[in-house]
Amino acid sequence: MPTYVYEVFEDGEPTGERFEVVQSMSDDPLVNHPESGKSVQRVILPPNIGGKYSDGSMHRSMANDGKLNKLGFTKYVKSGDGTYEKAFGSGPKNIKK
């Protein structure tokens, strides 16, 4: 069953409060908050699709030092309080605060 996101409304204005409900696709959308009774409206969100540029994929790519170096990036690693040493790439050997 899919998870739907709802936003709470007061006096016809969104409050910013959102919550999730697992419902069958055949169920009618909620009209009121299950606990507070305030009016709610279903929020349409973009689908979470993985792929080459998804958050997880990009995180794995950025963690791969070989790829970063091949693409010409410079990586610095924290070596002390306010001090960073170059792991690879061009630029100064150390950066200090």
Residue 82's pLDDT is 87
In this model, does residue 5 exceed pLDDT 80?
A: yes
Position 86 scores a pLDDT of 93
95 Rama class: left (phi>0) / alpha (psi -120 to 50) / beta: beta
pLDDT digits (tens, 9 = 90+) for 24-35: 999 999 999 999
Q: Where are the domains of the chain?
A: 3-43, 66-96
Give dist(CA 50, CA 80) in Å, integer. Answer: 37
Residue 27, pLDDT score:
94
| Whether the model pTM is above 0.85 | no
| Local confidence band at 84 (pLDDT 50, 70, 90 cut-offs) | very high
Instruction: Categorize the per-residue pLDDT at 38 as very low, low, confident or very high, splitting at 50, 70 and 90.
Output: very high
Inter-CA distances, 54 with 32, 47, 59, 60, 87, Å: 34, 12, 9, 10, 26
Percent of the chain with pLDDT over 70: 100
